[in-house]
Amino acid sequence: MANFDKWIANRTLNFDSSGIRKMFDMAANLKDPINLSIGQPDFDVPQPVKDEYIRAINEGKNGYALTQGIPILREKLQAEVDQNLGHEDRDVFVCSGTSGGLMLSVLSLINPGDEVIYFDPFFVMYPAIIELTGGISVKVSAYPDFKLDMQKLEDAITDKTKMIILNSPSNPTGVCFSNEEIKGVAELAAKHNICLVSDEIYSKFVYDAPYVSAATYNPDCIVIDGFSKTYAMTGHRVGYVHGPKKIIETMLKVQQFTFVCSPHPAQWAGAVALDTDITPYVDQYRIKRERLLAGLADKYEIVKPGGAFYAFPKLPDGVSGEAFVKKAIENNLMVIPGNIFSDQDSHFRISYAVSDEKLEQGIDVLNRIA
């Protein structure tokens, strides 16, 4: 048998998926679990979107799409971007999910040794894609209240800082950064000639104030968004990126030789999705959020999430994330330990994108094991 350790690239050794995998392994034998771990909507893809996907397949839209995306989808997206931002130099292209957009951003812009700043807690993909490109992660803590400290951010900037990644509403906390915080990050990036990447996948799921994009305050900001969460199209792999033309051209070049294109029939479905009103779903999640916060108020300390469909409660004193998750699984409940998303082991993540019945069951279990 070959020595496979000699085959595996060093770039893969500094990150793993063992934390989440271990949790799912522990929960593998649960029967009809109360699953508050999944980061995807619990509603189905809207029927007109499904119908268009089927129509596209039946009408032969099954070959390669243009690398930049099919015209009808790109034109709709470009019109929306132009209307919202009005930047002279801002192009849009369609990518293979927001994960694809994040990967393309880092591949296109980060050289080995370049530093990338992001905030802790963070989406699990950030450190992995930075390691894959030879970049260096620089984490700025947003604890304890998940607010952004501009002084901490500026102190983290060095002559090697190439990129800042901002994610609002945030995964895993659900926190929406304030207008002042977003403006502060955007202006700081511009001041230091640092590329700002704004991960806006949850931009349609905001509950207390209108959404503000970092690109509002920084015309060179690269924005990544998509259809996975907004229209429950997680498996369809349709995302989009917009930013300065020169950067978009570079990302398209990399896409051509990696992902090639987003799935062709899914792009036709995406064009229809843009005309779909998801307000009822957003309203439902606002109610679920309130139910969760009220239900856990006596037992857990939670920073109120302003968007997405996550909450990030503090663990009971003296309890590790792994021990807490193990106890939850013993009670047929699945949640994610916070140290998957953080250098700290002080919180855990709940997804309230579940039925009202499952949410109530989850609240009961969490209060019982607190």
State the CATH number of the domain containing residue 325: 3.90.1150.10
Question: Is 197 within a domain?
Answer: yes
Domain assignment of residue 65, given as a range: 47-273
- Out of 251, 273, 295, a domain closes at 273
Round to whole Å and give the CA distance between 52 and 65: 16
> Is the pLDDT confidence value at 49 over 70?
yes
- Out of 223, 251, 273, a domain closes at 273
- Out of 273, 305, 320, a domain closes at 273
Give the tens place of pLDDT for each residue, 124-136. 999 999 999 999 9
CB of 308 closer than 8 Å to CB of 201 = no
Backbone angles phi, psi at 153, to 5 degrees: -65, -50
Statement to judge: residues 246 and 233 lie in one domain: yes
Q: What confidence score (pLDDT) does residue 39 get?
A: 84
Statement to judge: residues 255 and 312 lie in one domain: no
Statement to judge: residues 147 and 200 lie in one domain: yes
Statement to judge: residues 256 and 347 lie in one domain: no
Backbone angles phi, psi at 347, to 5 degrees: -140, 175
Q: Which of 23, 15, 113 is nearest to 336 (CA)?
A: 23
Statement to judge: residues 74 and 203 lie in one domain: yes
**How many domains does the chain fold into?**
2
Identify the residue whose tokens are 């990126």: 241
Question: Is 29 within a domain?
Answer: yes
CB of 325 closer than 8 Å to CB of 345 = no
Q: Report the percentage of the chain scoring pLDDT > 70.
A: 98
- pTM of whole model > 0.85? yes
Round to whole Å and give the CA distance between 168 and 156: 20
Statement to judge: residues 333 and 255 lie in one domain: no
Q: What confidence score (pLDDT) does residue 18 get?
A: 61
First to last CA, the chain: 49
Q: Which of 112, 182, 95 is nearest to 147 (CA)?
A: 182
